[in-house]
Amino acid sequence: MSLFLQSPWLLPLLALAGLPLLVHLLSRTRPPAYRFSNIEFLQKVVRRTARFRKPKDWLLLILRTLAIAALAAAFLGPLLLSKSAPLPGEQRTVILLVDRSASMAARDGAASRFESAIVAAREALDSLRPDASNIVWIDAEPSSIFPEPATNRGFLTESLLQSGTRHEAGAVARAWELALRQCMIGRGRKELVVISDFQASAWKSVQAEVPPDVNVRSISVTREEAPNLAITSLIATPAEPVAGQECTLLCRVRNFSGEARRPVLSLDAGGSHQSQPVDLPAWGDAETAFTVRCPGAGLLALTAALDGDAFPSDDRRYLALRVRESLRLAVAAPATAPESKVARSLADALPWLDAIDCPDAANPPPCDFLLVPAWNGDASEQLRKLALRGTTILVLPGAGCSAKSLADLTGSTADAADGLLTLDARPEGWQASPVEGSPVFKLFASGEFGNPLAGVTRRRLRLPESVVSKGVLLGRFNDGKPALVSFPTTAAPVLLCNLPLDPAAGDWTTRSCFLPAFAELVLHSRPKSGADDFSLEPGALPSWSPSDPSQATTLALTGPSGKPLALEQGSGPTGPLWRSPLPAAPGIHTWLVSGQPVHYSIVNFPESESDLRALPEVPSFLPGGAVQPRESLARAAALDHGLPLWPWLVGLALIALLVEPLLANSSAPKSS
Amino acid sequence: MTTAYKFLTPDDIRRLRNYEFGAKSMVEGYLSGRHRSKQRGASIEFHEFRQYVPGDDLSQVDWRVFARNDKLFLRTFEQETNLECHLFLDASASMAFPEKSERLSKLEYASFFAACLAWLVTSKNDRVSLTLFDQGIRKHLPPGSTRRHLHDVMTTLETTTAGAPTDLPEVLHRAHPLLKRRGTLVILSDLFADPARLFTALNPYLHRGFRIHLFHVLDPAELDLENRGLSRFVDMENDSHLTVHPQALREAWKQEMLAHSRTLRALAAGRRVDYALAPTNESYFSLFDRFRH
Chain-chain contact of A36 with B190 (C-beta, under 8 angstroms): no
Chain-chain contact of A35 with B99 (C-beta, under 8 angstroms): yes
- Which pLDDT belongs to residue A106? 87
Q: Within a domain: residue A671?
A: no
- Classify burial at A330, counting beta carbons within 10 Å of its beta carbon; exposed 0-12, middle 13-18, buried 19 or more: buried
Whether residues A304 and A275 fall in one domain: yes
Q: Within a domain: residue A633?
A: no
Q: Within a domain: residue A470?
A: yes
Average confidence (pLDDT) over B254-283: 91
Q: Within a domain: residue A117?
A: yes
- Which pLDDT belongs to residue A634? 58
Q: Which residue of A has its CA nearest to B105?
A: A37
Whether residues A331 and A410 fall in one domain: yes
- Which pLDDT belongs to residue B59? 82
Decide: A210 and A216 in contact? Cβ < 8 Å.
Answer: yes
Query: What is the DSSP-derived secondary structure letter of residue A613?
Result: P
Give the CA angle between residues B263, B266, B269 to the nearest 5°. 150
Whether residues A449 and A582 fall in one domain: no
CA distances from B80 to A629, B22, B41, B59, B77 (A): 109, 12, 8, 19, 9
- Name the domain count of chain A: 5
Average confidence (pLDDT) over A317-336: 88
Chain-chain contact of B252 with A40 (C-beta, under 8 angstroms): no
Whether residues A119 and A182 fall in one domain: yes
SS3 A446: coil
Per-residue pLDDT tens over the stretch A208-250: 788 888 888 888 888 777 788 999 999 888 888 888 888 889 9
- The yes/no answer to whether this complex scores an ipTM above 0.90 is no
Confidence of residue B30 (pLDDT cuts 50, 70, 90): very low
Q: Within a domain: residue A562?
A: yes
Q: Within a domain: residue A607?
A: no
Residue A574 region, left (φ>0) first, then alpha (ψ -120 to 50), else beta?
Answer: alpha
> Prior bond to B165 cis, omega within 30?
no
Separation of alpha carbons A194 and A136, rounded Å: 10
Among the three residues A275, A305, A324, which one is the final residue of a domain in this structure?
A324
- Which pLDDT belongs to residue A529? 61
pTM: 0.52
The CATH number of whichever domain residue A110 belongs to comes to 3.40.50.410
Q: Within a domain: residue A672?
A: no
Residues of B in contact with A46 (CB under 8 A): 242, 244, 249
Query: What is the DSSP-derived secondary structure letter of residue B61?
Result: B
Q: Within a domain: residue A459?
A: yes
Spatial neighbors of A137 by CB under 8 A, at least 6 apart, are: A98, A100, A143, A144, A145, A163, A175
Chain-chain contact of B255 with A670 (C-beta, under 8 angstroms): yes
Separation of alpha carbons B217 and B238, rounded Å: 20
Among the three residues A275, A295, A324, which one is the final residue of a domain in this structure?
A324
C-beta atoms surrounding A399 within 10 Å: 14
- Which pLDDT belongs to residue A89? 58
- Which pLDDT belongs to residue A625? 41
Query: What is the DSSP-derived secondary structure letter of residue A502?
Result: S
- What chain B holds in terms of domains, given with CATH numbers, is 10-24+83-291 (3.40.50.410), 35-81 (no CATH)
Whether residues A332 and A478 fall in one domain: yes
End-to-end CA distance of chain B: 28
Per-residue pLDDT tens over the stretch A246-265: 888 999 999 988 889 899 99
A1 touches B: beta carbon within 8 Å: no
Chain-chain contact of A49 with B237 (C-beta, under 8 angstroms): no
Chain-chain contact of B234 with A40 (C-beta, under 8 angstroms): no
- Which pLDDT belongs to residue A253? 93
Residue to substitute from B255, B260, B262, B263, interface A, most A β-carbons within 10 A: B255
Average confidence (pLDDT) over A452-462: 90
Residues of B in contact with A27 (CB under 8 A): 230
DSSP assignment string, A188-216: SEEEEEEEE--BHHHHTT------TTEEE
B249 touches A: beta carbon within 8 Å: yes
Residue to substitute from A29, A38, A54, A660, interface B, most B β-carbons within 10 A: A38
Whether residues A176 and A204 fall in one domain: yes
- Classify burial at A504, counting beta carbons within 10 Å of its beta carbon; exposed 0-12, middle 13-18, buried 19 or more: exposed
Query: What is the DSSP-derived secondary structure letter of residue A363?
Result: S
Average confidence (pLDDT) over B218-240: 86
Whether residues A345 and A479 fall in one domain: yes
Per-residue pLDDT tens over the stretch A83-108: 555 555 567 889 999 999 988 988 87
Residues of B in contact with A38 (CB under 8 A): 94, 190, 192, 222, 235, 237
The CATH number of whichever domain residue A368 belongs to comes to 3.40.50.880
Separation of alpha carbons B20 and B22, rounded Å: 6
Whether residues A198 and A110 fall in one domain: yes
Least confident of A403-417, A532-546, B36-50: B36-50
Q: Residue A521 above 60 pLDDT?
A: yes
Average confidence (pLDDT) over B50-60: 82
Dihedral over Cα of A156, A157, A158, A161: its sign: positive
CA distances from A136 to A94, A201, A325 (A): 11, 20, 49
Q: Which residue of B has its CA nearest to A38?
A: B235
Among A43-52, A58-67, A479-488, the range of highest mean pLDDT: A479-488
What percent of chain B has pLDDT above 70?
A: 87
Whether residues A345 and A456 fall in one domain: yes
- Which pLDDT belongs to residue A440? 84
Q: Partners of B188 in the beta sheet?
A: B89, B215
Whether residues A282 and A240 fall in one domain: yes
Using CB atoms, pick whichever of B222, B252, B260 lies closest to residue A37: B222
B3 touches A: beta carbon within 8 Å: no
A&B contacts, CB < 8 Å: 91
Least confident of A236-240, A573-577, B135-139: A573-577
Whether residues A359 and A492 fall in one domain: yes
Whether residues A100 and A134 fall in one domain: yes
Using CB atoms, pick whichever of A35, A41, A44 lies closest to residue B236: A35
CA distances from B200 to B175, B196, B207, B213, B237 (A): 14, 6, 11, 15, 24
φ, ψ for residue B57 (rounded to 5)? Answer: -70, 120
Separation of alpha carbons A298 and A33, rounded Å: 111
Q: Residue B203 above 80 pLDDT?
A: yes
Mean pLDDT, chain A, integer: 84
Residue A450 region, left (φ>0) first, then alpha (ψ -120 to 50), else beta?
Answer: left
Average confidence (pLDDT) over B254-271: 92
End-to-end CA distance of chain A: 53
Separation of alpha carbons B142 and B131, rounded Å: 8
Separation of alpha carbons A111 and A114, rounded Å: 8
Per-residue pLDDT tens over the stretch A581-637: 888 888 899 988 888 888 888 888 888 888 888 888 877 776 544 334 445 555 665
Per-residue b or e along A439-474, where b marks 16 or more CB atoms closer than 10 Å to that residue's CB = ebbebbeeeeeebbbbbbbbbbbebbebbbeebebb
Q: Residue B27 above 50 pLDDT?
A: no
Least confident of A158-162, A348-352, B42-46: B42-46
Q: Which helix (H) or strand (E) holds A160?
A: helix A153-162
Chain-chain contact of B242 with A39 (C-beta, under 8 angstroms): yes
Chain-chain contact of A28 with B243 (C-beta, under 8 angstroms): yes
What percent of chain B has pLDDT above 90?
A: 40
Domain range holding A449? 327-524
φ, ψ for residue A77 (rounded to 5)? Answer: 65, 55
Q: Which helix (H) or strand (E) holds B264?
A: helix B246-270
Decide: B175 and B132 in contact? Cβ < 8 Å.
Answer: no
C-beta atoms surrounding A144 within 10 Å: 19
Give the CA angle between residues B234, B235, B240 to the nearest 5°. 75
Among the three residues A324, A346, A379, which one is the final residue of a domain in this structure?
A324
Per-residue pLDDT tens over the stretch B62-86: 898 899 988 888 887 654 455 789 9
CA distances from A423 to A374, A401, A496 (A): 12, 11, 15
Per-residue b or e along A158-177, where b marks 16 or more CB atoms closer than 10 Å to that residue's CB = ebbeebebbbbbbbbbebbe
Using CB atoms, pick whichever of B95, B235, B256 lies closest to residue A45: B256
Average confidence (pLDDT) over B266-286: 91
Spatial neighbors of A389 by CB under 8 A, at least 6 apart, are: A491, A492
Separation of alpha carbons A103 and A606, rounded Å: 10
Give the CA angle between residues A431, A437, A443 to the nearest 5°. 80
Q: Residue B184 above 70 pLDDT?
A: yes
Confidence of residue A672 (pLDDT cuts 50, 70, 90): very low
Separation of alpha carbons A391 and B292, rounded Å: 141
Spatial neighbors of B68 by CB under 8 A, at least 6 apart, are: none
A29 touches B: beta carbon within 8 Å: no
What percent of chain A has pLDDT above 70?
A: 92
Closest CA to B280 of B215, B233, B226: B215
The CATH number of whichever domain residue A268 belongs to comes to 2.60.40.10
CA distances from A146 to A154, A168, A266, A416, A653 (A): 12, 22, 45, 66, 54
Q: Residue A151 above 80 pLDDT?
A: yes
C-beta atoms surrounding A595 within 10 Å: 7
Per-residue pLDDT tens over the stretch A410-423: 888 877 777 888 88
Decide: A378 and A397 in contact? Cβ < 8 Å.
Answer: no
